[in-house]
Copies of this chain bind each other. A is one copy, B any other.
Amino acid sequence: MKFLTTLIGIVLAGNLLAQNWQLQSPQKKLALEVTLSPDGRPSYQLQFKGKPVITSGALGLQTQDDGGFDQNLAFVSADNSSVNNSWEPVWGEEKSIRNQYNELALRFAQKDGRKLQILLRFRLFDHGLGFRYEFPGQPNLQYFILKDEMTSFGLAGDHTAWWIPGDYDTNEYFYSVNRLSEVDAIAKGNATEISTRKVWSRKGVQTPLMMKTAEGLYINIHEAALVDYPAMQLEIDGSSLRSHLVPDAVGNKAYLKAPFHTPWRVVNVSDKATEILASRVILNLNEPNKIANPSFIKPQKMVGVWWEMHVGKSTWDYAGTQNASTTGVEAKPSGKHGATTANVKRYIDFAAQHGIEGVLVEGWNVGWEDWFGKWKEEVFDFVTPYPDFDVKELQRYAASKHVKIIMHHETSGSAINYERQMDTAFRFMKNHGYDAVKTGYVGRIVPRGEWHDGQWMINHYNRQIKKAALYNIMVDAHEPVRPTGLHRTWPNWLASEAARGNEFNAWSVGNPPAHETILPFTRLMGGPMDYTPGIFEIKMSSYDPNKKEQVHTTLAKQLALYVTMYSPLQMAADLPENYEKHMDAFEFIRQVAVDWDSTAYLEAEPGAYLSIARKAKGKSDWFIGAITNENGRTAKLTLDFLPAGKTYEAVIYQDGKDAHWEKNPKSYMISRQKVTSKSTLAVALAPGGGAAIHIR
């Protein structure tokens, strides 16, 4: 095929011969070169428009009993192919997704011993590279144990990075921004507001890792389709990033069986930050939807008996003690329990009144007196409600209001306890009208010795999502591994938390105003986040005068997040009584869509600002979100994404003139104006502020 320029070259390396292969992306923006050194070590280089992205990266794997796959390899064969098609996700940021790449598949064999074969598959898109290791079925290789993956990413400079510490157990840090050489993960990993942490190196960071070169190139490293393998984190080693796989309880990395392929290692590159956000490389590298009849999957908004526990108005547990000594029959209700039948009905009423489909209820099942922090194996049973939560009555009431209650399965990290009971728990859900479940993994993992991001837990998350699909159940996973695009394959996986959500603002140092301008470049590269925006009562002092915590936001910015923070599951996280004080602003939450025909990334800079426009699926409405960090700015929004020749009304929800995230966060104003595809809006954003626009 003429656009492929792959060739097998033979060059001199010292006095010996090296072999190399080249591949270009469809529009020739990216160029890849793979080399097999004279001693049989594979490596690769990547350039974007002639500029080095990866100067040199190691390739290969080390196994326990089967020799290495990182050196002493011999070339067997090379295959090229190309793909240019499109596909439609069940839900997403776009109705149709273009999938265009050129592929190189290199087969190598060990020179000695059993001469086992490994295949390296590279897919080069115009804004990204994906590659993975494959072990073809072969007579001498069945089960094998992975000791280490040797992949590295050699960089051309000491780039600026937006990073969180490498950690086997959590991704709930806020981001730091500095040069790679200045990363100190141990210092940053001492975040005591995160209960379960395991930082593994001073130079360890997590993916998605967002970087920017001195020349203005944006480079993002992550992985796609994480299945049956540990998560990849990165260790900074001079100018190189080395893959670091999360180990298991005994220090192995993975238990594999040929035929097998690893997840894709993904490098997204562009000289425009907006093109990083627009990249669909990770989705394209995932397998197509495996759910034959996805009609049960419904993007939606929800309210929930949840934020009121975070702000201290009520408690998850019945006894109100979070104290193991009150467990058992003697547990007395404290009067502060949140998940009571009456309180849930209040949320159901609010949801029904405002067209919100779901009501999340946490703290409904017994065990919350004694669930946390003890590395306990047998925690919740997922089927036994507290005496003040009437499952049957709430089933009847919610159905009468055409609202769905969303189940909550907190595992306390004891995934093994959840797996034992999963069938029973899902049957209980289906018998009581629940179609969606929010899971939780707060705490150290049981089986003890395993980590949130190790192979065992990766398999757990995937096992759970598959079983949920069998029961026609949607999932919102909290405290799991960060996503890698698997929602393409399992679209019942609506969202994950897997990062530092809005909740941290209620009871800790919280999330700096820049946080939400970084997340789309990091955590969201892999998939939707249940960030729980929409907090109107921003300062915790309104609940308790002694509290100093607050959401680091203006009210208008909370509205903007419904657009900038993509998810098919969006929570209106604040309390009904808080929304009722600001129904004009709440109108944006009522109106905003959760599924989209198309998305335009108007302007973006990680850590600074972000403006995104999205067209509601099957409608002519557009919604824009624009946010900034702690600095005020004017968002310049060019509306050329609108169809030419039509006039729309834009309803603009923006910061008040005196708004400021800290000094005056609740100041907002709402205006209307006519707009066309030729309009440009200049919208002032307060420090820590934002704007939300409904174009109709």
Contact = CB atoms under 8 A, between A and B. Distances in A.
A448 B250 contact: yes
Nearest to A449: B249
Contacts of A377: 255, 459
Interface stretch (A68-76, A103-111, A417-425): A417-425
A216 B589 CA distance: 87
A142 B456 CA distance: 29
B325 A255 contact: no
A143 interface: yes
Contacts of A374: 142-143, 257
A448 B248 contact: yes
A416 B248 CA distance: 15
Interface in A405-431: 416, 419-420, 422-424
Nearest to A252: B448
Contact of A249 (B143, B250, B419): B250
Given A137-B325, A142-B324, A255-B448, 6 more contacts: A249-B249, A250-B449, A416-B416, A419-B420, A423-B423, A448-B449
A324 B420 CA distance: 27
A423 B421 CA distance: 9
A368 to B, nearest CB: 15
28 contacts: A137-B325, A142-B324, A142-B325, A142-B374, A143-B375, A143-B376, A145-B375, A248-B449, A249-B249, A249-B448, A249-B449, A250-B448, A250-B449, A255-B377, A257-B324, A257-B376, A377-B459, A416-B419, A419-B419, A419-B420, A420-B420, A423-B423, A423-B424, A447-B447, A447-B449, A447-B456, A448-B449, A448-B456
A424 B377 CA distance: 22
A5 B386 CA distance: 52
A468 to B, nearest CB: 15
A139 interface: yes
A223 interface: no
Across chains A and B, which 7 residue pairs bring their CB atoms closest together, nearest first?
A447-B447, A249-B449, A143-B374, A249-B249, A142-B324, A250-B449, A449-B449
A422 B416 CA distance: 13
Interface in A125-182: 137, 139, 142-143, 145
A616 to B, nearest CB: 41
A537 interface: no
A373 to B, nearest CB: 9
A376 B255 contact: yes
Contacts of A574: none
Nearest to A257: B324
A450 interface: yes
Contacts of A376: 143, 255, 257
A325 B141 CA distance: 9
A450 B324 CA distance: 27
Interface residues of A, number: 29
A142 B376 CA distance: 12
Interface string A458-484: 010000000000000000000000000
Number of copies of this protein chain within its complex: 2
Interface in A235-286: 248-250, 252, 255, 257
B249 A447 contact: yes
A324 B141 CA distance: 10
Nearest to A420: B419
A376 B143 CA distance: 9
Interface in A425-462: 447-450, 456, 459
A451 to B, nearest CB: 11
Nearest to A144: B374
Q: Which of A143, A448, A456 neighbours the largest number of chain B CB atoms within 10 Å of its CB?
A: A448
A145 B374 CA distance: 9
A324 B260 CA distance: 14
B143 A447 contact: no
Contacts of A450: 447
A139 B422 CA distance: 34
A420 B375 CA distance: 20
A248 B377 CA distance: 13
A229 to B, nearest CB: 14
Contacts of A449: 248-250, 447-449
A325 B145 CA distance: 17
Contacts of A423: 423-424
A254 to B, nearest CB: 11
B250 A143 contact: no
A353 B420 CA distance: 41
Nearest to A417: B419
A678 B325 CA distance: 64
Interface in A172-196: none
Contacts of A459: 377
Interface string A294-330: 0000000000000000000000000000001100000
A419 B423 CA distance: 12
A416 B422 CA distance: 13
Contacts of A145: 375
A452 B334 CA distance: 43
Nearest to A143: B374
A672 B246 CA distance: 72
Contact of A255 (B139, B250, B375, B424): B375
Nearest to A467: B420
Contacts of A416: 416, 419, 447
A420 B255 CA distance: 19
A409 to B, nearest CB: 16
Given A416-B447, A420-B420, A447-B447, A325 B139 contact: yes
Contacts of A419: 416, 419-420
A96 B645 CA distance: 97
A145 B373 CA distance: 13
A255 B449 CA distance: 13
A139 B423 CA distance: 37
Nearest to A459: B377
